[in-house]
Amino acid sequence: MATISAQRRSFAGTIEWRSLLPLAVGTFLVLIGLFCLWQTWLIAGESSAIERVHAAQKQVAQLLAAEIASERGRVQAVLDADDAATLVADPAEAAVALHQQIPQALALNVYSGGLDEVIHANYRVFGYGKAAQLMAAQTADGETLAQTVAGGQGERHLTLVLPVGPSRHPQAWVWVELPFGPLQQRFESIPLAGGRLELRQGDDRGDMRLLSSGEPSAEREADRSEPVDGSTLSVVAALPAAYIVLPKVWPLTALLSLLALGGGLYLFWLRSHPRRQSGVQVEETVLSDMIDNNPEPAKLAAPRPTKSAPAAPVKVTVDPTIFRAYDVRGVVGTSLTKDVARLLGQAIGAVMREKGLAEIVVGRDGRLSGPELAGALSDGLRMAGIDVIDIGAVPTPVVYYAAYRFNTGSGVAVTGSHNPPDYNGFKIVVGGETLSEGAIQDLYRRITANGLERDGKGNLRHVDVLPDYIERITSDVQAERRLKIVVDSGNGIAGAVAPQVLEGIGCDVIPLYCDVDGTFPNHHPDPSDPHNLEDLIFAVKETGADLGIAFDGDGDRLGVVTKEGEIIFPDRTLMLFARDVLSRQPGATVIYDVKCTGHLKGEILDAGGSPLMWRTGHSLIKAKMRETGAELAGEMSGHFFFKERWYGFDDGIYAGARLLEILSGDPEERTPEAIFATCPKGVSTPELKVEMVEGEHYRFIEKFRQRATFGDATLTTIDGVRADWPDGWGLVRPSNTTPILVLRFDADNAAALERIQNVFRAQLLAIDPSLKLPF
């Protein structure tokens, strides 16, 4: 009887499984088919969405250009109607008279044809942007470009410069400031169904956003900007963020949909019809045909109680793309919210608890979203049982310094670094280690797995560490002779600290955009982009300063320009730092990233050091410094890391002080230009960028490593592919922060540079002939 019961259970299970298998597989295939059908619909609709957005983009650019031309024409008509000699005779009186004829003008000035009064003006009062526009008009070939300037209460105004008399040799210049409202009305007059349009001033990689309309979640398409004729403005289009995971080839997805739906429906039909063999119907075996029904079935033992499985982790909606290679960063209000910041604090706290750490420093830069995000982060840390030291609004290096000063070894800087105003993020140090790559991804896994502490009661205290930070630098670094310098902080948080530090070491400081303003109204806070150094170069020349230095949005990067207007790239600045450090630390290791000049290795060797090329990324450089015991490191982006006399973290303000100490202490009292002239340089390109789909840049580099050939060049593949020849080098690497390829070329002369670029061009196009190369 027991055997029969066992047979019954075994065969019943077999029959049930066989009968349900077609149903399960069929259901799965139908679902796959429906998903592919949905993807086909999205892909087919994407092309029309692109056309609609780009059509609106072009229409808006044309409307804005027409509005600017109309404003220019109205003002020019007034100027043409007046006597040029009268305007030149008394510019002040002429400005008043013109203002009465142009009532819409908010401000109007008349200047001489030679702009003498502009050249000798106090630009802090006159306005750097206004002066730059007038000076540009003097050298412009044709119509001068309209631009916008900051007005009161966060408003923007349109400004025009028009000649009086012949355009090539004008007798005077008229600068007029007009309301921005008509442009805004034109921008907002075009309806947009899906996607987003942005009005920007400058190029679309280092520009300033003025207006935005459409869907905030649309993905920005940076290479499709539409210039507004007659101005420095452009309209950037962003496409709707459709959830497309299949290849964007609609015939392929349609075929997959038909195959899956057809297969699923066939399995449903097969299950509902008896099987046939050789034309004779064969009935399915039934359980009653196989067993004896007379015996009573054996009674089954009562089932033993079992423990219920643990509840599945609660799913948390957090955008995985904000967890980058070196930090956590996203757009405020969309991918980055206070709830995300609180969860991140809990995850960091969980890591600290596992390492036996109990206290952390939290600081923030000058962005408008900083207080809310820093507060939510601190709440999450305290929920995890971590004590928080809040040091307020400070540069990122001050957060690192405070972690040493208070012996916590841990700190979080809430900062968007050099990114646009609507970005923010977190740079994280735990137990002396700057988190990167796998450690950053581990935070995301902890959040999504819900492995977080919630019942902790960490303490919170507020501390002002800035006086201590300033005292620590100025007590050690001193300028041997007074240098006059212009300091451009780009309205970033460094403006609250850097002038005090540099004055404290004995320099005369002329501040430029040192008022902290999280909207960055004057220019993008990124000194690695030459476009953002134009105002600094202008100010250095006009004030007769010895040097100009610039900082990024959170103060951990340094840019340098000379009195002659030359931009000193960071790899040449690192040569000076290496000579200085190695004079006291002979034989020390000096680390530099793969984007630095090939001359740097020889300079370090000549100074008695040990050069080491490493991967790009501030957290990766710091980890390598700990591993090798290096005394100094630097990146082409402007990050400098001093262990000698400092703490080994990247600090743009401290690096600026050390640079001025070197320049002012030259035994021969040479000018900064003469000192920098001792640092070899060749012909080089800035960073060139090729945009790709998310993730595709990594796959491309892998193919490039395997297939590219460079003859007798020396190859370095620790970060992309770098090929070095005796007279120059080229590099292509994947960015770890955005889906782009980054390229740079450097050579002893223009002919060598062109040859190396041609070699790389051929190798790149051999992998993907459709690439749009920027060289």
Active centre residues (catalytic): 329, 417, 639
- Residues 397 and 472 sit within 8 Å (Cβ to Cβ): no
- Residues 115 and 138 sit within 8 Å (Cβ to Cβ): yes
- Residues 461 and 486 sit within 8 Å (Cβ to Cβ): no
Dihedral over alpha carbons 543, 544, 546, 551 (to 10 degrees): 20
CA distance 383 to 364: 20
Residue 282 sits at the vertex; the CA angle it makes with 279 and 288, to the nearest 5 degrees, is: 170
CA distances from 587 to 575, 582, 590, 602, 608 (A): 15, 7, 9, 14, 5
CB atoms within 10 A of CB 77: 11
Q: Dihedral sign, CA of 45, 51, 52, 54?
A: positive
- Residues 733 and 741 sit within 8 Å (Cβ to Cβ): yes
CA distances from 526 to 43, 207, 419 (A): 37, 10, 8
Return the closest-CA partner of residue 514 out of 477, 531, 539.
539
Q: What residues contact 598, with CB distance under 8 A and at least 6 apart?
A: 724, 728, 729, 746
Structure-block tokens of residue 349 = 């706290």
Structure-block tokens of residue 498 = 């850097």
Max Cα distance, the chain (Å): 126
Dihedral over alpha carbons 190, 191, 194, 198 (to 10 degrees): 30
CA distance 490 to 536: 10
Residue 448 sits at the vertex; the CA angle it makes with 443 and 452, to the nearest 5 degrees, is: 65
Give 13: exposed, middle or buried? Use CB within 10 Å, 0-12, 13-18, 19+. Answer: exposed
Residue 669 region by backbone torsions, left for phi larger than 0, else alpha for psi between -120 and 50, else beta: left
Contacts of residues 84-92 at CB distance under 8 Å and 24 or more positions apart, as own/partner, are: 84/164, 84/165, 84/171, 84/172, 85/171, 87/164, 87/171, 87/172, 87/174, 88/112, 88/113, 88/164, 88/171, 88/172, 91/172
- Residues 401 and 368 sit within 8 Å (Cβ to Cβ): no
CA distance 38 to 551: 48
Structure-block tokens of residue 284 = 């399915």
Bridge-based pairing state of the strands 484-488 and 276-277: unpaired
Backbone angles phi, psi at 577, to 5 degrees: -60, -40
Residue 397 sits at the vertex; the CA angle it makes with 391 and 399, to the nearest 5 degrees, is: 25
CA distance 207 to 202: 5
CB atoms within 10 A of CB 590: 27
